Amino acid sequence: MLPILTSFIIATLFSVGLIIAEMTDPARVIGFLDIAGRWDATLLLVMGGALAVTLPLFPWIQRRKKSLLGEPLRVPTARRIDARLIIGAAIFGIGWGLGGFCPGPALASLASAIPGVILFVIAMAVGQWLAGRINS
């Protein structure tokens, strides 16, 4: 039960951070991608903050076998760049650019009950389901 409660608390904290940073506003993402127009650096600052927290801790995380709650850690080890990775990244990037959302902000935005957000999350879930079917 503790891992589920901890996951819920961390996801809620992450969602609140996305809302405070205005990453749930698709205009922020589109503004970041508009490098030739009215470029918005907000997303760059959010990514920089995430890196500032993650980079110093990552070597310590990689040495661990279990999480702080005792769950096994599954750190990705693949290093090969293949067609599957490139196609997946392209699909993610196209969806991100067209919709202005990536998965975290899209899920955090569900509380708004905006039809476009709901449609985006449904399409994202269908895409994840299809990817799982194709991979198996």
Nearest to 108 by CA among 123, 120, 98, 92: 120
pLDDT at 118: 94
118-125 mean pLDDT:
92
pLDDT at 81: 93
Q: Give residue-wise pLDDT tens across range 56-111.
A: 998 988 888 888 888 888 877 888 999 988 998 998 888 888 888 888 889 989 88
Nearest to 40 by CA among 52, 22, 57, 54: 22
Q: Does the pLDDT of residue 26 top 80, yes or no?
A: yes
> How far, in Å, CA of 76 to CA of 33, rounded?
28
Q: Sign of the CA dihedral 128, 130, 135, 136? A: positive
Average pLDDT, the chain: 88
